Amino acid sequence: MIRTLPLFFIFILILLSSCQTDQNVVNVYSGRHYQADERLFREFTRQTGIVVNLVKADTDQLINRLALEGTNTPADLFITADAGRMIQCMEKGLLQPMDAEVIEDVVPSNLRDPNFYWTGFTQRARVIVYDKERINPTALSTYEALTETQWNNKVLVRSSQNHYNQTLMASLIAVHGKEKALEWARGLVNNMAQSPRGNDRDQVKAIAAGVGEIAIVNTYYMGLLLNSPNAEERNIAARMGIFFPNQQDRGTHVNISGIALTAHASNIQNAQKLIEFMLKEESQQVLMDQNYEYPANKHLEWSDLLQQWGTFKSDTIPLDKLGAHLSQAMIVFNRAGWQ
């Protein structure tokens, strides 16, 4: 005799079965706020049918949210525009290793965690931008030389609260040690044309306004200005030159935008597919063409604009090594009076 299960138990079995099956989604927490990323997420959905649920916020807020949510977090992937914040997220135990095969093949080792807890998918060089009418680029050389008296009241740079500056400072501590880095920071503060304010675009605009003559800026901001819908911003950018520091020694500091699998991801396979999609040559081309970032995929040629800026030697210090110096970087900033 065949016995039938009560309807209630059939419902429970169906519910449990559905919970064990991956949903056709991937949930992303991102500290990046770019249309290029959203275009790629839409293309990923078109190609795979996997829906990208995107939450955008300040990176530190997202890290705190991941920590508070713990095992209950809906997030599968974490994206940030700074290696330092990615390292902090990993050190809090909020990430897990990714499948290494594709990443290892396309991303240089210095741009990813050695144990594949995170990987870069774009690069930004932190360069010196100068007014071509007032500055001869032969006068420029290194980050360290910006403390010389010839640059008194001429240097523009963002706040010490800026992630890019914190990671740059961590790299200087890694090279020179804490005390030498403090000496550099104090010298730079003495040469600042104004108290730090605004973003990197604002530093370039301040040069055009005659406030200072050189600025420490991420390259992709120059791309945004050169391709701005605002004619005044395009004209300002056209007046500026880009100089890559430290070409005779360690090379120009490069930061990354990174992507990582969260420690409690529910949709691991979908998340892995999105990571690999972001590293594809077609995706990297979109990030170059629309956001003016250097590719992390080492097999890809640079776009015309990036090539116009010139080839350069980049600092190949493994970015994962900078995490040990981030807390010291903030101490250095505070002691130097870098607001």
Tokens encoding 178: 């804490």
CA distance 52 to 38: 9
4 has pLDDT over 70: no
Query: CA 290, CA 331: separation in Å to the nearest integer?
Result: 36
What stretch(es) of the chain map to CATH 3.40.190.10? 24-123+256-301, 124-253+320-336
pLDDT at 38: 97
| Whole-number pLDDT of residue 23 | 79
What is the arithmetic mean of pLDDT over 9-15?
A: 37
Grouping H, G, I as helix, E, B as strand and the rest as coil, residue 51 is strand
* % of the chain surpassing 70 pLDDT: 94
Distance, in Å, from the CA atom of 248 to the CA atom of 235, rounded to the nearest integer, reads 31
Residue 2 pLDDT > 90: no
Strand-strand pairing, 95-96 and 254-262: antiparallel
310: tokens are 């010139």
Mean pLDDT of 172-176: 96
Percent of the chain's residues with pLDDT above 90: 93
DSSP E strands in 240-310: the ranges are 240-243, 254-262, 294-295
Q: What is the mean pLDDT of the chain?
A: 93
Weakest mean pLDDT among 246-250, 281-285, 320-324:
320-324
3-class secondary-structure state, position 243: strand
DSSP letter for each residue of 86-139: HHHHHHTT-EEPPPHHHHHHHS-GGGB-TTSS-EEEEEEEEEEEEETTT--GGG
Where would I find the beta strands (DSSP E) of 204-270?
A: 214-218, 240-243, 254-262
Q: What is the pTM of this model?
A: 0.89
Across 205-220, average pLDDT: 96
Q: Which two tokens stand for residue 308?
A: 């116009």
* Per-residue pLDDT at 10: 36
**In this predicted model, what pLDDT tens digit does every residue of 265-311 receive, in sequence order?**
999 999 999 999 999 999 999 999 999 999 999 999 999 999 999 99
Cβ atoms 179, 322 nearer than 8 A: no
Please provide the distance, in angstroms rounded to a whole number, between the alpha carbons at the two ends of the chain. 81
Class in CATH terms, 124-253+320-336: alpha beta
Alpha carbons 15 and 22: distance in angstroms, whole number? 13
Report the alpha-carbon distance of residue 293 to residue 302 in Å, rounded: 9
Q: Quick one: which of 153, 157, 166, 168 has its CA closest to 204? A: 157
Backbone torsion region of residue 246, taken as left when φ is above 0, otherwise alpha when ψ lies between -120 and 50, otherwise beta: left
Burial class, 8, CB count within 10 angstroms (exposed 0-12 / middle 13-18 / buried 19+): exposed
Tell me the pLDDT tens digit for each residue of 61-120.
999 999 999 999 999 999 999 999 999 999 999 999 999 999 999 999 999 999 999 999
| Domain spanning 24-123+256-301: CATH superfamily | Periplasmic binding protein-like II (3.40.190.10)
Q: Are 29 and 63 in contact (CB under 8 A)?
A: no
Q: What residue has token string 């169906």? A: 14
